[in-house]
Amino acid sequence: MANATADRDAKRQDGKLRAGKMAAVRIFKGVLCSVNNAGYVTNGSDSATDTAFAGVSYEAKDNSAGAAGDQSIRLEKTGEYEFNYSGVLTQADIGKVVYVLDNTTVGLTGVSVNHVACGTITEMVSAAKARVRIDGYAR
């Protein structure tokens, strides 16, 4: 590829809401989603096959009867969301990075095996609920 020699349209997209091709799964609205090792969006989990955090599902989609890639799902890539917290959340945990444990639960690195980071804690809602900012973590 050569360097540009004139102005060009870089086809900017907002990036706050993006679609991703789904694995053959059902994904509910408002859950943590991951990208699996085949490149498809799936329910978030602490699985060795989940390679990156994809975002929070903007909608519900059921592709469980289809093949991987048959449907796409829209994902939120920015914002703050409330999720279950594994362990006992304290005020001292504010600002710490959390990892996907399942599609509704986050935790610190000590409880995560595969370490798919999904955001930072911004608020202690309760000892079992954390508000998490996902900006910069969703792929």
**pLDDT tens-digit map of 74-112:** 999 999 999 999 999 999 999 999 999 999 999 998 888
Distances, alpha carbon 57 to alpha carbons 40, 88, 101, 108, 121, in Å = 14, 26, 16, 22, 19
State the Cα–Cα distance between residues 61 and 115, nearest whole angstrom. Answer: 26
**Residue 58: per-residue pLDDT:** 97
pLDDT of residue 39: 97
122 phi and psi angles, rounded to 5 deg:
-110, -15
Question: Could you report the per-residue pLDDT of 116-131, keeping only the tens digit for each?
Answer: 999 999 999 999 999 9
Q: What's the pLDDT at 78? A: 96
User: What average pLDDT does the segment 27-48 reach?
Assistant: 97
pTM of the complete model: 0.90
- Single out the residue of 123, 88, 82 nearest to residue 105, CA to CA: 82
Residue 102's pLDDT is 97
Instruction: Place 42 in a pLDDT band, splitting at 50, 70 and 90.
Output: very high
Ranges of each domain in the chain: 17-76, 80-133
